[in-house]
Amino acid sequence: MQKFIITIDGEMRFGDVRLHKELIPYGGDDCYGGGSWSLSHDGSEVELFGASYDFGPACFDRLKSIDWTGIDCRSHPLRYYPYYPAKHDSMPILPSME
């Protein structure tokens, strides 16, 4: 399943995994939540939705960087859909510039 997390270091990681914890770096055991992802129909953006069963919803204000290797190694605009599959009330997601 296509899932993502935000690591304790603030890195968003994507993967096709069974459990969110499989995306946590070796030696770690926690993260700032996660959810599921998919590419939009035209491939122009990554749609983020849902929450991790183990870690809860993603805390996007902790996001500092993005590791694209779990998708296709190319950056894409990110959009969060809190009421997925409904497409209303979506918001763009950007890493913090701190």
pLDDT band at 96 (very low <50, low <70, confident <90, very high): confident
Residue 98 belongs to some domain of the structure: no
Residue 31 — pLDDT band, cuts 50, 70, 90?
very high
Residue 32 near residue 8 (C-beta atoms within 8 A): yes
Instruction: Name the domain count of the chain.
Output: 1
Q: Which of 85, 16, 11, 18 is nearest to 48 (CA)?
A: 85
Domain that includes residue 55, residue range? 2-93
> What's the whole-model pTM score?
0.92
In a domain, 62, yes or no: yes
Question: Quick check: 27 pLDDT over 90?
Answer: no
Please state, in angstroms and rounded to a whole number, the distance separating the CA atoms of residues 6 and 20. 10
pLDDT digits (tens, 9 = 90+) for 84-93: 888 889 999 9
